[in-house]
Amino acid sequence: MIIVAYVSIGILLAGVALTLVRILRPGELEDRAVALDVLTSVIICGVLVWASADGSGTFLDIALALAVVGFLSAVTIARFIERGSE
Amino acid sequence: MIGVIAGTLDVVSAVLLIAGSSLALVASIGLLRLGDPRSRMHAATKPATLGVVMCGTGAILQFDTWSPITKLLAVIVLQLVTVPVGAHALAHAITERERHKE
């Protein structure tokens, strides 16, 4: 099972790297907001994988907190984009 | 018999974990490859959410007490509810801005 966890974490690290490229590359604000959303999802995936390999539920609180507040950045940036156009 | 069931659950869980991680990778590749903001939003919401759901289901199969299973179910439900809200707000903002430009 630990091998599966390592393979999954490797795949997810590649995903984090690609998402960071999208965030750091010059572009529109909304693209970066979308990429931040994806980054949150990828990190939640990584925490879930690691918690399943760990066997204790300690890490799950991180995933829970991220799932609760993850979408707030997207909503805030969306409000900002709308107000900025007025 | 118990051993066979536990082994099967382990295999299913491993497949789900790998598939979920791969879907998260697909989402990040889509962010880089797709052309306009709405296509990128499509890549950002659907594969990423399904990836979290699959990783969560794979993790649920690894636990045998209720406390972590409840937390995992809460994570999955929250992800299913909140990601569309954020994506909708962003799409709405983009549409409003485009209409303003015309």
pLDDT digits (tens, 9 = 90+) for B55-85: 999 999 988 889 999 999 999 999 999 999 9
Asked whether the beta carbons of residue B63 and residue A57 sit closer than 8 angstroms, the reply is yes
Q: Which residues of A touch B63 (CB under 8 A)?
A: 52, 57
Average pLDDT, chain B: 89
- Asked if B71's CB is within 8 angstroms of A63's CB, the reply is yes
Q: How far is B4 from chain A (nearest CA, A)?
A: 16
In the block, tokens 């018999």 appear at: B1
From chain A, pick out residues whose CB is under 8 angstroms from the CB of B7.
none
Which residues, 6+ apart, have CB-to-CB distance to B45 below 8 Å? A37, B83, B84, B87
> In whole angstroms, what separates CA B5 from the centre of its chain?
27
How many angstroms separate the CA atoms of A5 and A20, rounded? 22
Indicate the pLDDT class of residue B36, thresholds 50, 70 and 90: confident
Rounded CA-CA distance B53/B3 in Å is: 26
- Look up residue A71 and give its DSSP letter: T
The reported pLDDT for the residue numbered A86 is 54
What residues of B are in contact with residue A60 (Cβ under 8 Å)?
Answer: 68, 71-72, 75
- Which residue of chain B comes nearest to A15, CA vs CA? B25
DSSP A23-49: HHSS--HHHHHHHHHHHHHHHHHHHHH
> Using one digit for the tens of pLDDT, what is the confidence trace for A21-58?
988 988 788 888 889 999 999 999 999 999 988 888 88
Residue A38, burial from CB neighbour count under 10 angstroms (0-12, 13-18, 19+): buried
State residue A80's pLDDT score: 87
Which residues in chain A (45-84) have CB-CB distances under 8 A to chain B? 45, 48-49, 51-53, 55-57, 60-61, 63-64, 67-68, 70-71, 73-75, 77-79, 81-82, 84
Residues of A in contact with B44 (CB under 8 A): 34-35, 37-38
What are the domain boundaries of chain A? Answer: 2-84
- The pLDDT score that the predictor gives to residue B1 is 73
Q: Please compute the mean of the pLDDT values over residues A70-77 and round it to a whole number.
A: 86
The distance from CA A50 to its chain's CA centroid, rounded to whole angstroms, is 15
Look at residue A85 and tell me whether its pLDDT is greater than 60. no
